[in-house]
Structure 1
Amino acid sequence: MKRRIDQILGNFGYCSRWQARRWINEGRISHNGVVLTDFSSKVEPRELLIDGEPIAFPDGMLILLNKPLGYVCSHESGEGPRVYDLLPPRWQDREPKVVSIGRLDKDTSGLLLLTDQSALVQRWTSPKHHVEKVYRATLDRELDPGVIGQFAAGIALRGEAKVCLPAALTIIDAKLAEVTLSEGRYHQVRRMFAACGYQVEALHRQRFGDIELGDLPEGQWRALPLPAAGS
């Protein structure tokens, strides 16, 4: 959809609309090889060049981030280092705003998805879609194999009337387990283990739906293709 140049520059986080007029006067904005001079001109964002470079993610973004410990998924700066601080600063000024698809708490590391597509957030976090998440949990003591059956039967969490959906637990080592679940309750993995008498000492998410973290270094991100509508 065609939009005004100053609107495009503002919504994609490049500069304010007032600054956009100055950039245009400086000859920094071009379209189809022609330097633009009218800030009210309407063009397709994907066809616009700024200093010879195209707009980043003109059709929307989906970002895979390997979240380090200590970072929060909030936009509020008072809660500690934010996952958004690991991204290019310009992205924090994009409209629609870049948000996380679900959250990882401060003490959980691993796969985190971020997007500016609200429909995608709703689709992938809605309880009715049962998107699988896979975690590696390090426990405070050796795991009893009986916990596998407890997770498979559904764990009753303290303070909640509804029992968790069945989850798959695989014991990898004496104190290390892999958990696959399809819900996203508050601190769910930690609370499920607590209900079985264990304390989680480290938690790391490896997979979200069909997306795997792979060998992406901690604190780094990479862009993913946007999924087709409905997928």
Structure 2
Amino acid sequence: MSGAPTARVDKLLGSMGYGSRSEIARLGKVGGIVLDGVDLKDVSKRIAITPDLATRMEIDGRPLDPPPGLVIMLNKPLGMTCSHKEDGALVYEVLPERWRRRDPAISTIGRLDKQTSGLLLLTDDGDLLHRVISPKRHVAKVYRATLARPLVGTEGDLFAAGGLVLEGEAKPLAPAALEVLSETEARLTVTEGRYHMVRRMFAAVGNHVEALHRERVGGLSLPDDLAPGTWRLLTGAETESLFV
């Protein structure tokens, strides 16, 4: 592919967690690296990092892992933490073990707290990560909240006005859209990513969020067939739909 970035085979595979350069060199010598059906013994060779590389290269008889620039959609279950180091179950543990050694590392695009479930995105593309979370992009996030007490009917106007100030902060929130689903359930669309924002918004109007689930980011919705704790890679078109 014209214009695609290139890298030495040993450096590329090392950054993808396949081992040290010496280990990759030994693998190449014994025919363990195949590109376009041909043994690639010289691991100092530079190759183009194209989206189809995973279909053209095999490592030890298995397809190459997705090359750098991957984007993962995870249906985050309750009880998992968006961290590399905290105690307890971590979202990264659902990924293949080798993927946890990639450099640059795979990181979450924003965070969902331990008691929030739903659509979580992960990537090793730092530019994409910052595009999604940048306040200038106004990428919408849609949450379904189950509340401890019935809605009183004034919350939607208050959230939409864009003047709500959360406790401990000075800057008002941007306007947010509230869709009432039942007396104690609502769908909230926000364009910011402040700490525990949705929970704090409902706390500010005297309510408590008992359950919180993220359904959508930008134009990308969590599919019904993606079970909690499972993930899949996004296509380029799906990734771009985040900015629709």
Q: The TM-score by the shorter chain falls in which range? A: over 0.9
Structure 1 gap ranges (5+) = none
Q: Within 5 A, what are the aligned runs for 1:1-231?
A: 1-45=5-49, 46=53, 47-76=56-85, 78-154=86-162, 155-215=164-224, 216-226=226-236, 227=239, 231=243
- Inter-partner Cα distance in structure 1 for 2:37 and 2:179: 57
Q: What one-letter code is carried by the residue in structure 2 that aligns with 1:212?
A: S
Q: Please say which of residues 5-14 and 112-121 is displaced more in the overlay.
A: 5-14
* 1:59 positional shift: 4.7
How far apart, CA to CA, are the structure 2 residues paired with 1:217 and 1:38?
A: 42
2:37 & 2:156 partners in 1: Cα distance?
62
Deviation for aligned residue 1:106: 0.7
User: Aligned AA for 2:217?
Assistant: F
Query: Greater shift after overlay, 168-177 or 33-42?
Result: 33-42
In the aligned structure 2, how far is the partner of 1:32 from the partner of 1:172? 53
Q: Distance in 2 between matches of 1:34 and 1:167?
A: 55
Shift of 1:52: 3.8
Deviation at 1:81, TM superposition (A): 1.1
Tell me which amino acid in the other structure corresponds to 2:117: S
What letter matches 2:113 in structure 1? D
Q: Distance in 1 between matches of 2:144 and 2:44?
A: 52
Q: Distance in 1 between matches of 2:175 and 2:9?
A: 51
* Structure 2 Cα separation of the partners of residues 124 and 204 of structure 1: 19
Alpha-carbon distance between aligned partners in 2 of 1:157 and 1:22, rounded to the nearest angstrom: 58
Q: 4+ residue runs of structure 1 moved beyond 4 angstroms?
A: none
Q: Secondary structure at the match of 1:161?
A: coil
Whole-Å separation in 2 of the counterparts to 1:191 and 1:14: 43
Cα offset, 1:32, TM superposition? 2.8
Deviation (angstroms), 1:119:
0.6
CA distance in 1, matches of 2:6, 2:222: 36
Structure 1 residue identity aligned to 2:128: L
Q: Counterparts of 2:74 and 2:213 in 1: how far apart (Å)?
A: 13
Quote the offset at 1:150 in angstroms. 1.4
CA shift for structure 1 position 87: 1.0
Secondary structure of residue in 2 paired with 1:193: helix
Q: 2:58 aligns to what SS in structure 1?
A: strand
Distance 2:97 2:20 in 1: 14
Percent identity of the aligned residues? 50
Shift of 1:111: 0.3
Distance in 2 between residues matched to 1:96 and 1:157, nearest whole Å: 35
Distance 2:6 2:191 in 1: 40
Give the C-alpha shift of residue 146 in structure 1.
1.3
Question: What is the Cα-based RMSD across aligned positions, in Å?
Answer: 1.7
Secondary structure at the counterpart of residue 10 of structure 1: helix
Which runs of 5 or more structure 2 residues have no equivalent in the other structure?
A: none
